[in-house]
Amino acid sequence: MFKTLKRAVLLGGAAAGGAAVFYLTADTDTQMAIASATGPLLRMLDPELSHVIAIQATARGLMPRDPRPDPPSLATKVFGLSFPNPIGLAAGFDKNAEAVAGLMGLGFGFVEVGSITPRPQPGNPSPRVFRIPELKATINRYGFNNLGADAAQDHLAAFEKAAAADPSIKRGPLGVNLGKNKSSKDATQDYCIGLTRLGQHADYIVINVSSPNTPGLRALQGRKELEALVKQVKGTRDRMLWGPSGPPPLLIKVAPDLSEPDKRDIATVALGCGVDGLVVSNTTIQRPGEVAKYPAATEAGGLSGAPLFPMSTQVLSDLYRLTGGRLPIVGVGGVGSGEDAYKKIRAGASLVQLYTAFAYEGPALIPAIKRDLAACLARDGFKSVEEAVGADHPDIARPKGQAGGGRGAAGGRKSWWW
Ligand SMILES: Cc1cc2nc3c(=O)[nH]c(=O)nc-3n(C[C@H](O)[C@H](O)[C@H](O)COP(=O)(O)O)c2cc1C
């Protein structure tokens, strides 16, 4: 009995060792495929638990690193910042900025962390995330569960230290997405606190006024409310002393559930108040098409993934027209392929983000999207992403070298604070 057990342990150890050697010596595509193949296993677990495991594995360096340079046609400059490729990770995956180095290493052109609120908060009771795998969709009502601004600041400082010591830690721009605490009476103050605590670590800042899971948050998208909010946050930013590369650009993240007057108001405020860009869009409270047939559709929360693509791309296209192509837009919602990313860019996105498709498909999706996007650009005769931005709106003449405001031509990170 003891002998059999000993033999089983030895055999198991040898198999695990062999598998580890195979993984470590495999090429990047194979490593990405192996990491992605854990998806079906993770999907057997509760969605929140598999999210936690994915974050912790990434934070501990257990994900593959993609050292390959991106196709030159994908390099782009937006808000004066240089992006190796326009494919970014959307907010909500790394809420506490715990896994930035690992996520950058997967080949994202940029990573947005958050939403981060000034004080830690637990979010809504579990269960609060629901999969609809047949449609590659998810419904979540997390409600800004996060460790708060102090913890995020510690994590971002640790990331910067690690990146300074190890040049192999790939650095694309880092966005910090700010939210408000559920119990807070003064939303503006919360965003200003987030900015003062975390602005030093951010290449750009996102004011998230579009999560459906914090009561009253979406009302901040109204014209008067948004104008007052943007003026205050921008005023706070501009009163702060920044390094040579200037203050971080300020973006507003909006919902896909907007009426025509809502969209006009957002465009007017964004242009009138000097917002640097828009993130379009967050999750939807609607249950379009097929979604309504699935039991999870009755759960409260925001829908993301493939079914969100048509409506979020329509709102992106509308806001591009309403702003006359003068504001850089980050297109997000239902992107799951290079062709989807290309459609967002043609509709008016200067940059693209994804979350749900990445959660379903795993790391191998990122190089596949980049490769297919480069092929779409080449197929239609575009030499760069910038050339294709807004191509579906030939009547709108986009300002050349659109850079938005913010960090100025030098881009990069500030060197000091106060
Ligand atoms: C589980 C989950 C949590 C999210 N949390 C946030 C968040 O904290 N802040 C935010 O701005 N967006 C959040 N989002 C929205 C995403 O950033 C993105 O806008 C949305 O999911 C649409 O993109 P996708 O279809 O590629 O997922 C979350 C999305 C999901 C699925």
HEC assignment per residue over 14-33: HHHHHHHHHHHHCCHHHHHH
**Pocket flag, ligand 1, residue 402 (CB < 6 Å):** no
**Pocket flag, ligand 1, residue 304 (CB < 6 Å):** yes
- Residue closest via CA to ligand 1's atom 28 equals 92
Q: H helices then E strands: how many in the chain?
A: 14, 13
Whether 401 maps to a domain, the answer reads no
Distance 12 CA to ligand 1 centre (A): 40
**What is the pLDDT, as a whole number, of residue 7?**
67
Distance 18 CA to ligand 1 centre (A): 38
**What is the pLDDT, as a whole number, of residue 111?**
98
Say which CATH number the domain at 236 has.
3.20.20.70
For the chain, how big is the Rg over CA atoms in Å? Answer: 21
Is 308 in contact with 332 (CB distance < 8 Å)?
no
Angle between helices 187-198 and 223-239 in degrees, nearest 10: 30
Q: Residue ranges of the chain with pLDDT lower than 70?
A: 1-25, 32, 34-35, 37, 39, 42, 170, 398-418
**What is the pLDDT, as a whole number, of residue 394?**
93
Annotated active-site residue 50? The verdict is no
**What is the pLDDT, as a whole number, of residue 411?**
36
Which position among 36, 211, 317, 337 bears the catalytic label? 211
Whether 14 maps to a domain, the answer reads no
Residue among 281, 355, 360, 366 to mutate when testing ligand 1 (max atoms within 8 A of CB): 355
**What is the pLDDT, as a whole number, of residue 209?**
87
In 3D space, the residue among 142, 198, 154, 151 whose CA is nearest the CA of residue 175 turns out to be 198
Whether 50 maps to a domain, the answer reads yes
Q: Which atom of ligand 1 is nearest to the CA of 306?
A: 25
Distance 350 CA to ligand 1 centre (A): 19
DSSP structure class, residue 146? B
Q: What total number of domains does the chain contain?
A: 1
Helix (H), strand (E) at residue 370: helix 365-379
Residue among 180, 252, 283, 284 to mutate when testing ligand 1 (max atoms within 8 A of CB): 283
Range of the domain at 296: 28-388
Whether 315 maps to a domain, the answer reads yes
**What is the pLDDT, as a whole number, of residue 369?**
98
Distance 200 CA to ligand 1 centre (A): 24
Whether 3 maps to a domain, the answer reads no
Q: Which atom of ligand 1 is nearest to the CA of 354?
A: 26
**What is the pLDDT, as a whole number, of residue 405?**
45
